[in-house]
Amino acid sequence: MIRNHIDVISMGCSKNLIDSERLLRRLEAKGYTVAHNPENVKGEYVVVNTCGFIADAKEESIDLLLNLAEHKDSGRIGKIVAMGCLTQRYRDVLEDEIPEIDIIYGKFDWKDFLDSLEDRSGAAAPSEWERTLTTPPHSCYLKISEGCNRFCAFCAIPIITGRHVSRPMEEILEETRRLASEGVKEFNVIAQDLSSYGTDLYGEHRLAQLIDGMADIEGVEWIRLHYAYPADFPMDILEVMARRPNVCKYLDIALQHSSDKMLKAMRRHISAADTEKLLDEIRRRVPGIKIRTTLMVGFPGEDEDDFDNLMEFVRRQRFDRMGAFAYSEEEDTYAAKHYSDDVPDEVKKRRLDSLMALQENIAAELSQEMVGKRLRLLVDEREGEYAVCRSEWDSPEVDLTFYVRCDARPGEFIEATVTRAEEFDLFADIDANTDN
């Protein structure tokens, strides 16, 4: 164990990561050495920012805490601190089941941990949204709101995070200016529900105005939008995406299903016909846009006709990027209270495997269509003689990666022509120019 050293481990999504980055900045300001997601824990404190979204994520967080309890018993680490979504929801249970956890905070009161620590530096406290980036220095996530008012039948997020709360627009723009002045070029805008931004503060959608304002800031090269909701979608954002060259032609919008029966049971507040109409309008108004979505199989009551409908929907839409997961019952949600989890696990797995196999074929075909295209790419890192890059259509960690043999360094933009497409990777040549 190393005195005055604190390890911070982030579980789950990028929204959690931002809270961890804010914590890291405050710990550094207090004079502590810190490590994020270290290979070997060794701190006087180890802080785990837990995830509580679905069963697998909860299990992963619990397994980590149990593993840390063993390290604590051996003297390898000092105190264990837990925070985040899992602790927000199950604080009392964790106190009883894992007594080795020394301190437990929820998702919103974690700053109390800082008050309990000795100030070893005397430095001024950081502002509310200052953080130590754990992403590459040219790229960051930017959270514009917290919580959700949608109350989909399967989702525990509103139970954990509460109602939707937008950050003031000027606060977000000021954070963007500061990060851009520090060299951040790519801003991945995130929220539980991007579509509702501004409705609580201003009485109307303000996503378009926010993104337009961000696009004006010097140094902002890419803005990418994540986690829009299809019902009551802010259509005016499409004009901004089409007009502003530094707003990526990319939209992450979770659709979940295509069967009217399932959409109604899921309480998604939109019909299948309106979903397809929205997708058509997005593609019409933002030519060349790539759409990422998330779909669910095995929701209570889903039969083979519903699943066939979903498969046909994916064949027809040919999503550029897609993820999927099988339904797992989350206690206290509408589905847990009102439906029986009646789709057998083996059926869920078969449907999920079939859906992902279909999407893999579609994605492979779309990648092959990119061969010969000349693209603007952002370099993320080096691997030997290759620059590892992404296009404006590729979000960090979840989308395609491009390999270019060149001397470009992380944070630089290059232009290269795609020469070969493999399953998840594409190769490009900086000298070739065969755009078709």
Answer yes or no: are the C-beta atoms of 310 and 293 closer than 8 Å. no
pLDDT at res. 436: 45
The rounded distance, in Å, linking the Cα atoms of 173 and 187 is 12
Candidate from 25-34, 108-117, 118-127 with smallest mean pLDDT: 118-127
Q: What is the DSSP string of 267-331?
A: T-S--HHHHHHHHHHHHHHSTT-EEEEEEEE--TT--HHHHHHHHHHHHHH--SEEEEEE----T
Average pLDDT, rounded, for the chain: 95
| pLDDT for 322 beyond 90 | yes
Question: Which residues fall within 8 angstroms of residue 89, CB to CB, at 6 or more apart?
Answer: 52, 156, 159, 160
Residue listed under structure tokens 């069963």: 55
Supply the pLDDT for residue 52. Answer: 82
H-helix or E-strand containing 189? strand 186-190
For residues 326 and 351, what is the distance between their CA atoms, to the nearest angstrom? 8
Per-residue pLDDT reduced to its tens digit, 389-436: 999 999 999 999 999 999 999 999 999 999 999 878 999 999 866 544
Percent of the chain topping pLDDT 70: 99
Q: Closest by alpha carbon to 48, among 98, 4, 2?
A: 98
Q: Compute how many other C-beta atoms are within 10 angstroms of the C-beta atom of residue 326.
A: 20
* 26, 211, 329, 364 from 307: Cα distances, Å: 48, 36, 19, 22
Q: Position of tokens 């579609």? A: 362
Strand partners of residue 386: 383, 405
Q: Burial-class residue 389 by CB neighbours within 10 Å (0-12, 13-18, 19+).
A: buried
What lies within 8 Å, CB to CB, of 390 at 6+ separation is 377, 378, 380, 396, 399, 400, 401, 402
Separation of alpha carbons 46 and 352, rounded Å: 36
State mean pLDDT over 175-194: 97
Residue-wise pLDDT for 152-168, tens only, equals: 999 998 999 999 999 99
Q: Give pLDDT, residue 1.
A: 81
What whole-number distance in Å separates Cα of residue 134 and Cα of residue 132? 6
Mean pLDDT to the nearest integer, 27-35: 95
Average pLDDT over residues 236-262: 98
d(CA 145, CA 147): 7
CB 354 within 8 A of CB 346: no
Number of alpha carbons in the 13 Å side-chain half-sphere of residue 2: 13
- Render pLDDT for 138-154 as a digit per residue (tens, 0 to 9): 999 999 999 999 999 99
